[in-house]
Every structure is written in C-alpha cells, then in structure tokens.
Amino acid sequence: MNRKAFILAVVLRVFIWILSLSCPTAGEASTCLAVYKEGGAPAAVNQSTRCQSATRQGRRKYMEDRTFCTLDIRIPFPHHNGTRDTPVGIVAVFDGHNGAEASEMASNLLLKYFMNHALSFLSNTSTSMGMLQDMGEVEHDNANSHNGRNMVTLSTMFDGDGAFQLEILKESLVGAIVDIDSAFSEEASRYNFTSGSTATVVLMADGQILVANVGDSKAFLCSQTFQSPSEAKATLMRLYKKKRQDGVSVRIKDFGSTLTHFSAKEFTNDHHPDRADERSRVESAGGHVLEWAGVSRVNGQLAVSRAIGDVSYKKFGVISVPEVTDWQPMTRNDSYLVVASDGVFEKQSPQDVCDLLMELRTTSSSSSCSYSLADSIVDTAIGRGSMDNVAVVIVPFGLKTQPSHGCSEVRQQTYVDEDDPV
C-alpha cells in the first residue's frame, strides 16, 4: 500500500471514530436516540415497486415475521461542488419469536435509525474535517502546496473510489441495529416483553452489496451461470428428482435447456449456539448449550445465539451485534436478491429457491396469473411442509418483466399447530 492510500485509510477510520463520538450506538439514551424520538432527520425516500415481499403464518398460531424493503433512498454525501445524492437500497427480514413485538419494532425503526446515523455522521463533517486539518493530514482542494507531503484532499475522500461513503453506510447500519436492540430492551423491561427477533439486512449502493446478519435468516443472490453439458445433465437430474419428491409428475424434457441456471451466492452464516465461536461466547458468559427437540438451544430454550431482544438471555452471551459480510461488487449475472426467514429453508435450501426462480422465469410467459415470485417461494415452502412462519423479500435485477406463477399450482394455506420454543 502506498503512502497516500495508507493515509486515506487511516484518515477514514479516524474520521468515522470522531463522528461516532457524537452519536453513541448503545447503552443509555443517546443523542441519536433522542433525535429519533423527536422525529429524526428528513430523508428522501420513495417506496420502490421493484420489491416483492410475502409472508405466511403457516402452521403457527401467530404471525411474527416482518419484512422491509425500499430501493430509492437518497443520501446527500459531501461533494467538491456541494452535495451529491447517493442512491441506497435497504432490504430486511425480521423473524420474530415468543411474540411479534421485537420484529414489529425493528421493522418500523430500521429506516429512521439508519438515516439518523448516516445524517448525524454527515452533519458533523465540517467540524471533524477541521480537527483532521489541525492534525495536518487533510487539505482543502484549493491548497497551493503540500510541502512535498502526500496529503489527503476532500475530493480524495468524497469523490474517489467511494470507500468513504460505503464505510459511513456500513457504520450507520451496524449502529442502527444495535440501537434498535437498545430501544426494544427498554420497552421490554418496561412492559415485560419476552420476545426477540432475527435481523438480516442488506444494503445496496454504488453497484455493491453488504449484509448485516443477526440470527438465522438468510440473504443470497441467485446468479446466472453457464454450465458444461455434463454439469447441465447433473442439474437436470437434480431438478427432476426434486419435482418427483414433491409429488409432481414431470418428464425430463419438460425442463428444457439447463445450460444456463441460477447459482446461490450466500452472504450469511446462521447464528446457532452449536456453532463453535457462538458456543464459546455463550459458555464463557455462564450459559449452556443444550439440545431440545433435535435443536441446539441456549439454556435448552433459545435456538439462536444472536438476536434483537431476548433480554433475559443477554447475560448468557446472546448478543445483538451483527455479523457483517462487507461490501462486494455485484455483476450483470446477479438476477435476484433473496432475503428470507428460516421457515423458508426448513425443507429447502437457498439453491432450491434459486432453482424455483429459474423455473418460474422459464415458464412465466405462459402464465396468465399475476402471482409474485415472493408468493411462489413462501407457498412452496408451506407446501413442502415448513412448520414455521415464512417471510421473503425478492428484488429482481435487470428484468423487463417480473415473472409470475401459475395460480393453480400452489395455494396459500393457514394451519394451526402448537408453538415450539424458538
């Protein structure tokens, strides 16, 4: 790394740290939380029609999952000519348990908290830049001389490769999730709520994608790939066997060409207490990992080791800090973003979901029913025997039309079954 790049990296981290001092991310009622409660800062947000979402209660007594999606947030980042709006998309699923209070609050507060963190960072830019100028590492663009030193200019920070903006977006999301947990914990203590929720949140900006995950919901891309004839044959047989397992009568020739298919590109790892690093943290805090009903659980009860809420388990090592899959570039082959609760995956994998999307894309031209991709996924999960609430958000990329599903194949079903401990 050359000196200029090194200085920029150091300045970026110091700058983020300075800004964060004005907006704590956890603990007592901070300045940020006070601003949230007063209505927050204005944000340019237009609800996008490109988001498809669906939820089903399934066989549970109550519906506790929640979704959120908007793809048209505009954040005014500093620019050498003033400000420039950066488009940002947010997609999220919150899988509630032991009640819907945590997932409901998280879905309602996510955008407000995220925007307030981002705008709080940006509103303190001038002061923080002044502090860094005093340190001698930042110059204004109109500086005549650097005295032979490699200086970082405002244009370098805000108009360069976008790293500065992306870092602010990441820190804003992490801070928002932690603050949501803090705010809900206050409410839970006041009203004796015992509920909790996962949080899987996707950010999209500048052609890149970032995922912050708490719990065991999933986020992945279905990306178009090209196969060799032998790979295509293996894919064809896998799809054929899956259909037969589902009780659907098909012929191999019905699948058509499989030289092109979707591959699942996963961004999340489940936070289950039997995962080595999660178990270590739980046990170090005095908790125990015990199996009940075939599932490893914190103290024999809670099936996730990270969650929003679940206040009584926090002393046993359950945390709300998200695991972040940092910014990665998206490609033209990325066809669908899928964010879904774990109920979708009780009887199928992310790859199965991508296979279904490919099938729907292939057969959509013959369907006369406007049945969304999200509906197809949740109803397929229920039809395959999922016992849980199911929720999904789908974002299609680069498609002129949104494929629909034949209405006669899968119907919404609502069952009632005794709730398991989560």
pLDDT tens string 132-155: 555 555 555 554 445 544 545 555
C-alpha–C-alpha distance, residues 378 and 389, integer Å? 9
Element (H, E) at 46: strand 44-46
Predicted confidence (pLDDT) at residue 183 exceeds the cutoff of 90: yes
Q: What is the pLDDT of residue 29?
A: 33
pLDDT tens string 100-126: 999 999 999 999 999 999 998 887 765
Q: Which residue shows structure tokens 């244009």?
A: 155
125 inside domain: yes
- Residues composing the chain: 422
CB atoms within 10 A of CB 193: 20
pLDDT tens string 15-60: 555 555 544 444 333 333 433 344 443 344 444 448 999 999 999 9
Number of domains in the chain: 1
Predicted confidence (pLDDT) at residue 12 exceeds the cutoff of 70: no
Q: Tell me the mean pLDDT in the region 325-342.
A: 96
User: What is residue 262's three-state secondary structure?
Assistant: strand
* Mean pLDDT value across the chain: 79
Amino acid at 258: T
Parent domain of 43? 3-47+65-201
133 inside domain: yes
Which residues are CB-neighbours of 335 under 8 A, at least 6 positions away? 221, 222, 223, 224, 262, 357, 361, 396, 397, 398, 399
Higher per-residue pLDDT: 338 or 83: 338
184 inside domain: yes
CB atoms within 10 A of CB 121: 25
Higher per-residue pLDDT: 323 or 12: 323
15 inside domain: yes
Crossing angle of helices 373-383 and 350-363, in 10° steps, is 130
303 inside domain: no
Predicted confidence (pLDDT) at residue 257 exceeds the cutoff of 80: no
Phi, psi of 147 (to 5 degrees): 50, 35
Q: Torsion angle of alpha carbons 297, 302, 305, 309, nearest 10°?
A: -170
Higher per-residue pLDDT: 228 or 312: 312
C-alpha–C-alpha distance, residues 184 and 206, integer Å? 32
pLDDT tens string 186-208: 999 999 999 999 999 999 999 99
What is the distance in angstroms between the CA of the first residue and the CA of the last residue of the chain? 47
pTM above 0.85, yes or no: no
209 inside domain: no
290 inside domain: no
10 inside domain: yes
For residue 162, what pLDDT band results from cuts at 50, 70 and 90? confident
Q: Tell me the mean pLDDT in the region 305-313.
A: 98
Higher per-residue pLDDT: 272 or 72: 272
